[in-house]
Amino acid sequence: MPLSDIVKALRGGRVPPMKQIPTPLLNAVATMGSIRGKFSKLSSIERVLTAFQHKEPDRVPVTPLVNGAARQITGISFPEYSLNADKTAEAFTAGFEFVGGDLVILMLDLSVEAADFGQSMVYPENSTAYPDYSEPVVRDTEGYVKIRPVRLSDAPRMKEFVRLCEIMAERTGLRALVSGFVFGPLGVLSMMRGAEHLFKDCVNYPKKVIKACETITETLLEFVQAQCVTGVSAIAIDTLFASWNGLSRELWETIEGPFAGEICQLVKKNGLVVGVHNCGHGLYFDSQIKFMEPEVISFAHLPDDCKSPKELKERYGEQVTLLGYVPTPLLVHGTPQEVMDECRRQIEVLGRDGGYILAPGCEYPPNIPLTNAIAMVKAAERFC
């Protein structure tokens, strides 16, 4: 990307596609950020960019993932949060402004894609949307081959999500990076079949499941392409099943890996950052890196080949930016002091040499007070 285009984007209040910026320039900006960060406060974008380039910013960037929980600020219901981009954007903006943070990840709920494939959903007033498993789209193993791709023009929830990306990218401007989101094909399929059946079918009927993943990916590619041109800087893909409590490594690499890789290639082609979100236990960092080549991995538990956060940092810290991993139980039940203590421990181990963003392991629990999210932001500000 020519320098003039970068300047033009910045003057227009937009973040240029980061991966289209020449690497020497990115490195120079990050080096400057790292030096300047020792004396003065960086902007959120400078801070995240510096961390992405594996250099130490003024402090560790933080994203408290106050997504559904931000409804509490604007007073909208869960169904409104799931279904109305304008109201969702108000909630995300309020979360960003009220709690703080350096990065906004638009993790809405996991029902967006499946709903547009015809999966009946339940939208409770006081909890996150979920599939009506009494009416699964895929009732038996023959159902996998009956799935048809859905065009974005016929996909109200995905269209609404793309609109959310547009609103948030414009509204956030140069205050922070914004990331879109997509559930991987196996995740979408699990909403249409039920996880237990899907797990067994992956072992017994892998070809049928692969066929379904292929069809779903066709739709996801269009969905992701639409997100890529909204002005967001990154797309996060959720590949939950690449973990010990998902599929075996071999099965994941056979079934979902290639499709997840295809989606990530499209994100890269658009010059955006690829993020992976996986809150499974014993996740397969190496397999996900092999297939998706992400810049960032958001995780809730240690990968299967690391026994400690120190080992994680040593093994993967130079390959990817780590995003995590404050435990959900601590956020739900801990005091702000306990949360801050945990954040400090994580910053000390993972924050060294950049390449780390402090965050919860998964979305901030939507029905709890925001106090512990604020504690996370305070911890990032305090424990440099």
Partner 1 sequence: MKSQTDILRDFEDAVMSRDPNILDKAFQKATASGLAMDLVLKALTDGLNSARMKLQDHSSSIPEFLLSVDVMRQGLDMLKTLQPTNKDDGKASRIIIGVVEGDVHDLGKNIVAGVLQACGYDVIDLGRNVPPSVFIEEAKKTRAALVAVSTMMSTPLENMREVVAWCKRDLPHVAVLVGGAPLDEEIARSFGADGYAESAVNVPEETRRVLEGL
Q: Which residues bind partner 1 (CB under 8 A)?
A: 122, 124, 126-128, 130-131, 133, 195-196, 199-200, 202-204, 244-248, 251, 282, 304, 328-329, 332-333, 365-368
Cα separation, 29 vs 32, whole angstroms: 5
Cβ closest to partner 1, residue 8 vs residue 333: 333
Q: How far is the CB of 325 from partner 1 (least distance, A)?
A: 14
One-character DSSP codes across 303-367: -TT-SSHHHHHHHHTTTSEEEEEE-HHHHHHS-HHHHHHHHHHHHHHH-TTS-EEEEESSSPPTT
Cβ closest to partner 1, residue 64 vs residue 246: 246
- 20: DSSP letter: G
Instruction: Give the helix ranges, DSSP H, for 100-141.
Output: 112-116
Q: How far is the CB of 354 from partner 1 (least distance, A)?
A: 30
Give Cα 13 to chain centroid, integer Å. Answer: 23
Q: How far is the CB of 328 from partner 1 (least distance, A)?
A: 5
Q: How far is the CB of 187 from partner 1 (least distance, A)?
A: 13
Cα distances (angstroms) measured from residue 9 to each of 3, 4, 50, 192: 10, 9, 19, 40
Does residue 171 contact residue 89 with C-beta atoms inside 8 Å?
yes
Tokens of 268: 């890269």
Cβ closest to partner 1, residue 269 vs residue 333: 333
Cβ closest to partner 1, residue 271 vs residue 282: 282
Q: How far is the CB of 130 from partner 1 (least distance, A)?
A: 5
Beta bridge partners of 299: 278
Cβ closest to partner 1, residue 68 vs residue 351: 68
Cβ closest to partner 1, residue 245 vs residue 308: 245
Q: How far is the CB of 365 from partner 1 (least distance, A)?
A: 4
Output Rg (C-alpha) for the chain, integer angstroms: 20
